[in-house]
Each structure stands twice: as structure tokens, then as C-alpha cells.
Structure 1
Amino acid sequence: MLQLLIRNCVMQGKVMPVDVGVQGGRVEWILPSGQVADAPAERTVHANGQLLLPGFVEPHIHLEKAHLLERMQAEPASLQEAIRITGEMKRQFTKEDMRERSMRVLKRDVVNGVTHLRCHAEIDPVLKLTAVEVILELKEQMADVLDIQIVAFPQEGIFQQPGTAAWMEEALRMGVDAVGGIPYNDRDAEEHLAYVFGLAEKYGKPLDFHVDFSDNPDDRNIVRIADMTIERGLQGRVCAGHVTSLGSVMSSELPAIADRISEAGIHIIALPATDLYLGGRGDMERPRRGLAPVKTLLERGVNVIFGTNNIRNAFTPFGTGDPLDMAWLLAQTAYMGTGQEAEQLIRMATYGAASALGLSDYGLTPGCPADMALYPVRNVREVLLDRPERTQVWKRGKLTAETSKREQIYWDREHIDCVTHTKEVR
């Protein structure tokens, strides 16, 4: 008997409706709808033509500094101010506080159909390893509904903050999944890069950078990162978030840089909510968008994806944790409005992000874990345009969240029932 049977759903890339059988937490088979007339299952879901997608992969988020708006004493006007304000606020963080705010984000992620997530846990002389400890606990607690990867992230720098290098190494011994870097916020970028690359090699971990977060076209640490990635044979194991300075590089120079990034197999993560909010602020006329050149990078073969980054704090006063919000925002601001580009944006939030996180066992393919979500629309473009509720979400074939919606329109004392609105996280 099957663990789960989903009948009459549509899937990205398939013309006709299909039935999906799940056994032992994995996709057992995907067949044309109705081909298997009798398939006993513990649970049968009649999708009635709804769209089934693999679970979203959130590749870049900060948990322990989410939901800080109500505590802020000032509104930042630059990246540097956001770093300073948050650095001061961190002195008031406790483990219980970080756990509560992080869990608020994680619960919403589950409802939003996220089944894999990578977060950056900050390490510095104020927090030391407390954020790492909290998120390691949450990683274990949430394992049945969400796979969490943790990046050891030195937000305040490494060498300009004594003790951080030792805490970074201790975090790796504790079990974090990746080495983070932020060369623009340390005393010397080359020294910073050499250290984090060495640490990654020592522990056999991938790297995940915040890099070139500026409008200055001369900020090109990403090129040095690409060179070091190739020199050390780490192609495909390096991510780089922001990289907004490339949005200011002359069009005649950009292709060569993009080709080098592609050759290095670096995954570029656009973070539109933060990048658009903080970017271009120094421009008195014709302000720049503050985004990485997404379309050019894609055209040159770079795996470009997108992430949430921050939620309602000094860096980003917005955010719900829904990847579809980020997809819609990027579509608007990167001129990705066609049907084909809608398909591409959803692939970026699923298969592209899974590649960046090194998830080899991922997708709606027989043999892969049944991590997936059902949407009350008929095609991928409608997912992007409507950003609808995820009617059901599964992790390894287990139902983890349900959302139903009811809308009533009143007209001349009568009403029209459209659809129910209740939300539940299990």
C-alpha cells in the first residue's frame, strides 16, 4: 500500500495531468492520470488539476536577527548604519529571544512550502556561538518538516574582531554545514578570503559569501573568489550573495566577469528585498536599482537564484518569508515578466537553489524524497502572478501544513462564496 497518492495534478514541464505515488517517504512513481485505476494508499488526495511543485529551497536567510523592527531606535539610511544598529541590538539578544524569533520565521516557511533552508548564524565577540547553538537546536527540532543548513557567518569581520577566527573553527566542529565570509567588512579582503577558503578546505565544507554589496563598479571581490575557487578545485561549492556592484559595471566589461563566475561554478544569490532597499541610495540622480545583473549572468551560464535574506529588521523592513514574494519582486525589477521567465523563476527557487545547496537527492522524480507542495492554480505563471496559498505541503510524504481559503463578495445584500480561509501548521 502506498503512503500517499496524489491524483490528477499538473506538474511543471508535463503537458498532461499525472498521478503521483509515494512510498517510504520517496516518490515511487509518476504516471499519466488514471493509468493506475486501483492504487491502495493510506492517504489519497484528489488534486483536481492543481499544480504540484517540489518544495521551495530558501538559500539565504538570517533567523536570529529577524523581526527586530519594534526594537529599533533609529531607521538606517545605509548598509553601514544597518550593520551598526543591528550590532548594538545584538547585545540584548538572549537564546530564548533568538529561538522565538527564529521559530516565527521557520513556521511561516513551512506554511509557504519551503522544505529546505540555509541560514547564516552570526559569530562575533557579542554573540560568540550562541546563535549557532540555538539554530543547531532548531535544526534538530524541525528535522521532520524542514531540512536546515547552517552557515558560520562572521558578520562583523574576522580579523578586526579578536576571537572570531577561533569561534568559526569551533562552530565547524559543532556541526555547521558551510563556511561564511564577508570580505567587505574586515580589515583586509585578501586575508579574509584566504582564511575562509582554508577553513573550508580543512573541514571539507562549501563556502557561502556576502560579497560586493555596493554600487561601486570597482568592488570586484567576486572575481578574486572565482579565481580562488578554480585554483582550489572547489567549482560548484561556492555561493555568493548580493554581488550588487556588478550591476554598476560597464556592459563592455561585464561578460568577461560573468564568464569567469560561470567557469568557477559559483552560485549567485540575488537578495532583492534587501538589495533594492539599500542599493542606489548614494545616487542623487538616476539612482541605480542595486541588483546584481541577473539576466546577463543567466545568459552567461551562471546559476542565479534568489533568497529572502532579512525579515523586518534594519537591513530589510519588509518580508513574510514567502519565496514567491521574492520571485515576484525580482520579476518586476529584473524585467522578467514573460511566461518563460516565470517558469525560470520557479526553477530558480527549486532546482537552482537545490543545486546551490548541494542537494543531489531533490526533485519530483522517482526515487527522490517526496518534498512537495500543492497550489490551487493550473500553471506556473499563475503561481508567480497570484502567489496563492499552498493548499498542502509534504515533507518526505508526510503532511506538514494545510491552508484553505474562503472569500465572500457582498453585492446587493447577497454574497458570492468564492473559496475558505484557515491556516494550520502541523
Structure 2
Amino acid sequence: MPTVLKIVNAALPLRDESRLYSLTAEDGVWTSVEPQEVEAPQVPGRVPIDRWNGEEAEPGRALCLDARGQVALPGLADAHMHLDKAFSLPQVGNVSGTLEEAVNNYASAAPAFTKEELRARIMRSALQAVSCGTTAIRTHLDFHVRHGREVALRTVEAALEVKEELAPYVSIQLFPMLPCYDLTEEAVETAAEALRMGATGVGGAPHISPRPEPEIDRLFALAERMACPVDLHADESDNPNVRTVAHIARRTIEYGWTGKVTVGHLCSLAAMTDKDAGELIGLIAKAGLGAVTLPGANLYLQGRRDRFPVRRGVTRVRELLDAGVTLATASDNIHDPFHPFGKGDLLQIGLITAYAAHMGSPADMRTVLRMMTEHPAAVMGLPDRGIEPGNDADFVLFDASSPEELFAMVPERRWVWRKGRCLKAAGGRAEWKVPALSQRWEDACERISFRKRG
């Protein structure tokens, strides 16, 4: 018999806020999303969501829940994380707080990280994100070929293992970051090997190269050879003359790769004149580049050498959106030398986005919700992730009745589903509802702690 989940009185702010909805999923797929004319009354057998502790229905019976007007969103999608670096701050410090020191310190420490440690960090940070409602992740992976092929592929192997283990719970994409400051033939061929092993696409940070344009060309040539997408850190700099995104956009147009290329950060747009920024944003839109803003890390890292006024580095969010660019907001780094804060909570990142971009109107708040759901799904090439018939029942119920309440309260109480299966329920205390996830969480936390041991 099919497994049936029914939810009534759910608020869907990305669809229509004038009414509540009744939702039905069978075997993990939405079969019905129907507007209600009035609030559905409580009936025997239906459990109020705030009293439900995650227990499934008896075999052969539907699980019926009353959302009581709480907000349901599609499973959140985090389009830019660094799972392999997460929780490495106790081992890799950053005295100056600058991006340059973070890059150098982590690169120097990388050879000493074992595959088991990398795997534990990736596992913990991925599960942390899932517990907050994220069911799709794109992670960039450090790829230190200059320390040898084994060091570079060690991280990829660890990430592939975690990706396979967590496949029932979260979709993970892997983008090795090719060393654009030292893009040798060996580095390119090692990256090709990583892609054959199962990595998703080509990554890198060409703006840190003294000759970025030919290196961008080599990255595009590799992506063409391996038939994979491209996702580049672009112009993470306070220097208004750093504009590698222009060459990335031109190459995207020449290759006809609209929808296959993503650029993250774009900090230098915030430092240049309106005229120059407008021209670049127009080119980004023309090329059909996907874009990602990383407000938490960039507010922390950028402007370190300024005295007054201090530039804050967050890209021109409004202008990109107004130009029609598909712009996501994402977590970036968690408790590492690049960013000592964060926990993989996209709602928290959405709030930071709203602060940084001055997006506080009702329409703005709903746009920010799309930057956590629909926009990253498009950037990541993940179709059919909305709460619509025929799509997987990946969704999050929040203990809030509106976008305004979501951003004001950032509620901890959340119920997370993946393909109709409850992964995390909120009762008196939130607990993992899948024993395998609970054990993996405990194992990862045991290996990776906030305190430096010894």
C-alpha cells in the first residue's frame, strides 16, 4: 500500500497568501496541492503539528497533520558551501581576519588533514544544514594539487563517500576548486580524474590569478571536454578594477552555456561606480549567468584594510535582481578561518541578506525566500523542487505563520521532510527521526568539536 501524508491548513507564501492549503503526498511525491476555502476543522485522527513528535502512522493508514497556518516552504537549497573546511577553525586560525591569510593558512594545513577528518567535517556540516531545512547542497572543495595528487583527491573521495551515504536525505553537488594561481597541466588532468570519479563540475577562483583570462579559458575548455557545469568564485575583492566576471560572461555567451555557469561573491561590484557596475550587471544578465551572494562571510572578510568608510563587500543584490539575474543567497563557510560563525541555516543567511541589502518590505522578504528556494534550485539545475503535484515532497514546516514572522523570529522549531519522509521533527526538543542519521550526527560531533582538544 502507498505511504500517504496529508497536511491541512498549511500556509504557502510563495504561492498564494490569501488562503491556506491542503497537501497530499503518496510515496514521497506530491499528488495534490489544493487551496482551502476556509480553515479545515480539527477531526479525529488528525494530529496538530505542534503536538506531533515525528511518529509515523500505523501501516496502511495515512499520516494526517494539521499545520495550523504555519509556513511551508520547498526544501531549502544552499548553492555555495565549503563542507570540507567547516569546523576547521581550531586547527587553522586567522589572526588578521583577512581573506588572504585564510587562503594561505588553510592551504598550508591541508596536507595534514586525514580523509577521516575531512569526511567527518563534511558529514557534520551537511547534517547541520539538513537539520535547518536544507535538502540540496552545492559544495566547493579545496583541491591542493601542488601538495600532490593524493592530497587533492583525498577531499574528493571523502566528499563522494558522504554524498552517497546521505543521498536519501540530501542532494549534494561537488565542485573541486582548481588552483587558478597555479593551473598546471597536472592540475587540469587531476581535476578531470575527479570529474570521472563523480564530481559534479569545475570550480575555481580565477580572480586571484595574475593572468585570470587564459585560466578562465582553460577551465571552460575542461568543462567542455568533461561535459559538466562551471561554478566560479568571482571577484571576491574590494578592488573595483577586479572584473573577471566580464570574461566569464563573454565566454559563456560564446559557448552558448546559458544556465550552465554560476558566479559567486561578486564583491567588487559593490566597490565600483554605478555606471561601471551597471554595465557589468547587464553583461551578467545577457550571458544568463547564475549568481550567488554570500553575505555572512563577505561582511566578515571584506573591507579589512579600510579605515573609513569601511566597505562591506556584499554584492549589489537589488541591482542584480532588477536586471533579471537569478541570484541565490548561500551559507559559504562555517566555523573555519574564512568565517568563524554560521551553522548552515539558510533562514539566518536570508535574514543577513535582508539586512545587508536593505530588503525589509513585504515584497522584499518574499524575494529573499525565493533566494533560498527557487533561485538556488535554478542555479543548481534542480527542476521540480516546488510544492506542486508531481514533485518530490521535499519541504520544511516552520513554527511561523508568515514571512514577516519567519525573519523576525528565525524559529528553531522546524519539521523537515525529504521525499515525504520526516527527517527532523520539532517537539519539546528536536530529534533526528532516522536512526542512521542520528548515529552519523553523533559520530561526526564526536570527531569534530568547537573546542581544540589536547
Query: TM-score under structure 1 normalisation?
Result: 0.92
Aligned structure 1 segments of 4 or more residues deviating by more than 3 angstroms: 37-41, 158-162
State the partner residue of 2:104. 84
- Counterpart residue type for residue 154 of structure 2: T
CA distance in 2, matches of 1:137, 1:243: 31
Q: Structure 1 residues 314 and 76 mapped into 2: Cα distance closer, same or farther (>3 Å)?
A: farther
CA deviations over 1:129-164 (Å, ceiling 9, x no partner): 01111111111100111011111212x436356732
State the partner residue of 2:56. none
Contact 1:111–1:425 at 8 Å: present in 2 too? no
How far has the Cα of 1:106 moved from its partner? 1.3
How far has the Cα of 1:41 moved from its partner? 4.9
State the partner residue of 2:290. 267
State the partner residue of 1:60. 80
State the partner residue of 2:354. 331
Q: Structure 1 residues 32 and 2 mapped into 2: Cα distance closer, same or farther (>3 Å)?
A: farther
Any gaps of 5 or more consecutive residues in structure 2? 47-59, 435-454
How far has the Cα of 1:304 moved from its partner? 1.4
Are 2:268 and 1:248 equivalent residues in the alignment? no
Contact 1:403–1:424 at 8 Å: present in 2 too? no
- Counterpart residue type for residue 283 of structure 2: R
SS of the residue corresponding to residue 275 of structure 2 reads coil
Contact 1:237–1:266 at 8 Å: present in 2 too? yes
State the partner residue of 2:5. 4
Matches within 5 A, 1:159-170: 159-160=182-183, 163-170=186-193
CA distance in 2, matches of 1:183, 1:253: 20
Moved more, 321-330 or 120-129: 120-129
State the partner residue of 1:22. 25
How far has the Cα of 1:42 moved from its partner? 2.8
CA distance in 2, matches of 1:248, 1:70: 32
- Counterpart residue type for residue 54 of structure 1: P
CA distance in 2, matches of 1:187, 1:299: 32
SS of the residue corresponding to residue 240 of structure 1 reads strand
State the partner residue of 1:306. 329
State the partner residue of 2:207. 184
SS of the residue corresponding to residue 348 of structure 2 reads helix
Contact 2:132–2:414 at 8 Å: present in 1 too? no
State the partner residue of 1:101. 121
State the partner residue of 1:139. 163
CA deviations over 1:324-357 (Å, ceiling 9, x no partner): 1111111111111111111100111000000000
SS of the residue corresponding to residue 394 of structure 1 reads strand
- Counterpart residue type for residue 123 of structure 2: M
Any gaps of 5 or more consecutive residues in structure 1? 405-419
Q: Structure 1 residues 284 and 305 mapped into 2: Cα distance closer, same or farther (>3 Å)?
A: same
CA deviations over 1:13-44 (Å, ceiling 9, x no partner): 32211110001221101113459x99995322
How far has the Cα of 1:73 moved from its partner? 4.7
Contact 2:74–2:373 at 8 Å: present in 1 too? yes
Contact 2:125–2:344 at 8 Å: present in 1 too? yes
CA distance in 1, matches of 2:230, 2:172: 16
Identity of aligned residues (%): 32
Matches within 5 A, 1:32-51: 32-33=35-36, 34=40, 41-51=61-71
CA deviations over 1:245-288 (Å, ceiling 9, x no partner): 01011012222211110111111111111111111112221011
Higher relative contact order structure (alpha carbons within 8 Å, sequence separation ≥ 6): 2
CA distance in 1, matches of 2:281, 2:345: 29
- Counterpart residue type for residue 305 of structure 2: G
Contact 1:261–1:302 at 8 Å: present in 2 too? yes
Are 2:196 and 1:173 equivalent residues in the alignment? yes
Contact 1:124–1:161 at 8 Å: present in 2 too? no
Moved more, 88-97 or 121-130: 121-130
CA distance in 2, matches of 1:259, 1:185: 23
- Counterpart residue type for residue 316 of structure 1: H
SS of the residue corresponding to residue 11 of structure 1 reads coil
How far has the Cα of 1:302 moved from its partner? 1.1
Query: TM-score under structure 2 normalisation?
Result: 0.86
Contact 2:7–2:23 at 8 Å: present in 1 too? yes
Contact 2:8–2:22 at 8 Å: present in 1 too? yes
CA deviations over 1:41-95 (Å, ceiling 9, x no partner): 5322221111111000000000111101222354233211110111122122001
- Counterpart residue type for residue 34 of structure 2: L
- Counterpart residue type for residue 82 of structure 1: A
- Counterpart residue type for residue 352 of structure 2: L
Contact 1:2–1:21 at 8 Å: present in 2 too? no
Contact 2:159–2:174 at 8 Å: present in 1 too? yes
Are 2:375 and 1:352 equivalent residues in the alignment? yes
Q: Structure 1 residues 75 and 183 mapped into 2: Cα distance closer, same or farther (>3 Å)?
A: same
SS of the residue corresponding to residue 141 of structure 2 reads strand
State the partner residue of 1:411. none
Contact 1:158–1:164 at 8 Å: present in 2 too? no
SS of the residue corresponding to residue 359 of structure 1 reads coil
CA deviations over 1:296-335 (Å, ceiling 9, x no partner): 1111111111111110111101111100111111111111
State the partner residue of 1:394. 417
Of 254, 257, 280, which aligns to 1:234? 257
Contact 1:64–1:121 at 8 Å: present in 2 too? yes
CA distance in 2, matches of 1:160, 1:353: 29
State the partner residue of 1:31. 34
Moved more, 380-389 or 71-80: 71-80
CA deviations over 1:180-226 (Å, ceiling 9, x no partner): 12112335211210111111111221110011110111111001111
- Counterpart residue type for residue 16 of structure 1: R
Give the total of aligned pairs: 409
- Counterpart residue type for residue 423 of structure 1: E
- Counterpart residue type for residue 50 of structure 1: Q
CA distance in 2, matches of 1:256, 1:422: 48
Matches within 5 A, 1:140-155: 140-154=164-178
